[in-house]
Structure 1
Amino acid sequence: MGRISFKGMIGLMIAGLSFAVSIFFPWWALRLIAPQYKEGLYMWVYPYKMEGDIDIINGLNHYIGMEKFSEASFPELGFLAYIVGAVALLTIIVALIRNRTLLAVWTGIVLVLAAVGIYDIYRWLHAFGTNLSPNAPIEIEPFTPPIFGTNQLANFETFSFFSYGTGFVGLGILLLLLVLWKGKANHD
């Protein structure tokens, strides 16, 4: 497949930096709005921690029998930042080696990791929304909150969305694909 051009190498370096920077921003978020919470309640999920109005959200979720959200509930938060750091480092190594075959393999691995990450979010949302306590004060039908989009639950409107960190990951993946497609050196 040949070598990666100098511009392609720079693009891969930027991709690696994008992956690294993503660690310091939230990747996914949830906003709940209701008449009593017009300003909204937020939960921000980083690759290594959760922030926001988690205690209030947990207090409300108790009424429908949902488990509490906590960093301990998501073991991935204990190691995801290290995986992302390794992806960043390996992307920079691929950039320095400048081999397009290696880039093709690496891009495939990164795409699989991204797909597994999206599935993992879905899996957790499904588990939290369908494993409701039968002893909850308010009985509702089990549900799976959307990974992205709105959902109506009683008087709460929820909006789930990918945040800045995912934007940096997306930029990194886009650059991998772009360099793979257009980054061939004219001379080996």
Structure 2
Amino acid sequence: MSRKMSVSSVILSCISAVLLGVSIFFPWWGMKFIAPQYPEGLDIIVYPYKMDGRIDIINGLNHYIGMQEFSEQTFPELSYLPYLVGGMALLILIVALVKRTRLLLLLVALFSVGGVLGLYDINRWLTTFGTNLDPKAPIQIDPFVPPILGENTLANFVTHSYFATGAFLMGASFLLLVMTLWRERKK
């Protein structure tokens, strides 16, 4: 598997790198909170470098159940994640230029580990915020963990957690790498 990659595999790898690099500029994950008093919903939108949405209102509501406030400063990952993703995109381009299939296998493994760590990190934060509730909060609820993906109901709020455009671009980037590796394996 140390032979050189085909031209079509080099092109697919370059497209993968571009998709991954572009994903930095789109939201990766979000949550929408819907309740009778907020029928249009309140959003938390997470980019790899910032948070957007109605975080001020959500923090105000979370205060009543004793959840700590969150902001971009709460998540140190937002300060370095774009560099990790950009570095990975650059590695993919370098591997495409040196055309080594074995290096492609290492990239797929590295990408996989990064994806698992990313999902673990999201779950860790959701667990931390949902289970470390202030016992002196005005409204007492049982600790909870919002899902990474899917629906959750808490009091009169229904939350929808979802992956966004950047996550789909990242997934497409990964699938292109896997497809390229698969094509090269067959040669």
Q: Could you tell me how far 1:183 is from its partner in structure 2?
A: 3.3
TM-score normalised according to structure 1 size: 0.97
Aligned residue pairs, count: 186
- Cα distance in 2 between the residues matched to 1:184 and 1:95: 16
CA drift at 1:3: 1.9
The question of whether the paired residues in 2 share the 8 Å contact of 1:3 and 1:100 is answered with yes
In the aligned structure 1, how far is the partner of 2:17 from the partner of 2:63?
Answer: 41
Which residue identity is paired with 1:51?
D
Aligned to 1:51: 52
Aligned-CA RMSD value? 1.0
In the alignment, which residue of structure 2 is the partner of 1:172? 173
Deviation at 1:185, TM superposition (A): 9.0
CA distances 1:110-133 after superposition (whole Å, capped 9, x unpaired): 110111011000000000000000
Structure 1 position 105, deviation (Å): 1.1
The one-character-per-residue Cα deviations of 1:1-36 (angstroms, maximum 9, x if unpaired) are 122110110000000001100000000000000000
Segments of 5+ residues of structure 1 without an aligned counterpart are none
Alpha carbons 1:28, 1:161 under 8 Å: kept? yes
After superposing on structure 2, the runs of 4+ consecutive aligned residues of structure 1 that deviate more than 4 Å are: none
Q: SS in structure 1 opposite 2:65?
A: coil
Aligned to 1:156: 157
Separation in 2, partners of 1:72, 1:51: 13
Per-residue CA distance 1:63-116 (angstroms, 9 max, x = gap): 100111200110000000000000110011011111111110111011101110
Quote the Cα distance in structure 2 between the aligned partners of 1:117 and 1:183.
28
| 80-89 or 175-184, which deviates more | 175-184
Give deviations 1:122-167, integer Å, cap 9, x for gaps: 0000000000001110000001100000000000000000100001
Q: Which amino acid aligns with 2:171?
A: G
Instruction: Report percent identity of matched pairs.
Output: 53
| TM-score relative to the length of structure 2 | 0.97
